[in-house]
Amino acid sequence: MTPANAPAPSPATPSATPYGTLPPAATPSARKPLSLPRLREMHAQGEKITMLTAYDATFAAVADAAGVECILVGDSLGMVCQGLTSTVGVTLETMRHHTECVANGLRRSHATAWLIGDLPFGTYHESKEQALRSAVVLMQAGAHMVKLEGGGWTADTVRFLVERGIPVCAHLGLTPQTVHALGGYRVQGKTDEAAATLKREAHELQDAGAAMLVLEMVPAALSAALTQALTHCPTIGIGAGNGTAGQVLVLHDMLGMNLGKMPKFVRNFMDGAPSVRGAMEAYVRAVKDGSFPVNATHAW
């Protein structure tokens, strides 16, 4: 029995934890959770869509609180988190783990961001059925959408997934999973023939039901023309100029934490920022007001 005059036990508080864990769930945000209809509405109204990569709960929660609309759990984690020389070595289990971590972080924050999970190399190439099984793994881990690379044969895979209720983001231009076939990290679509192929594949992916299209290292004029031509598939640029419907950067790059050579299309948003969240907020503002990217500096 507890003595009558014993002091009452002090309530447990989140601050008592010894590690840098996330705070309790935040007060509900005035922003509504992003959805495909909302993203389509933004596109139709000409509002730029912001996207950043994230690979863990804390950075995902901070990005969500900073107003980033789309979080991509990119297979770029193979390079920035695992130290690999390309994304080719990333496995589906690794992507599942990090997608789950990011989803947990969003739930602990405002939970407004749209979460996209990358299908890694070799997990959708064998068949449409293999792609479905792989996509289910990421969707069950918390993704709202999956992303896959390449055009041509991928259109049938996109259609197969979309018909089964899985939103898909496509990816053309520089496709890092096939960097060895491309001969390195080079601008794509520079010749008339290459540009025509890219245009055809972009329309095929839109017609197959892709709800977004990442354009990576594509000449700015070509990206802008594609953005205007694709009436219901917003383009998200990375090294593709300011004429796209939105922008994406790798988190570590935009925070100035790249372990190698900083790509031309990156701006270090930590310069002058008071915090990581401040840098993310600056990124959101710059994309929204059109001050990033600058074609003369960040594009081809």
Q: What is the pLDDT of residue 238?
A: 98
| Residue given tokens 């023939």 in the structure block | 193
pLDDT per residue as tens digits for the range 41-60: 999 999 999 999 999 999 99
Q: Which residues pair with 51 in a beta bridge?
A: 70, 248
Tokens 């609309």 correspond to: 69
The separation between CA 121 and the C-alpha centre of its own chain, rounded to angstroms, equals: 17
Radius of gyration for the chain, computed over Cα atoms and rounded to the nearest angstrom: 20
Catalytic site residue from 69, 100, 201, 216: 216
216 as an active site residue: the answer is: yes
Q: What is the pLDDT of residues 92-145, one digit of tens each?
A: 999 999 999 999 999 988 889 999 999 999 999 999 999 999 999 999 999 999
Task: Please state the pTM of the whole predicted model.
Answer: 0.91
Instruction: Write down the pLDDT at residue 258.
Output: 80
pLDDT tens-digit profile of 98-107?
A: 999 999 999 9
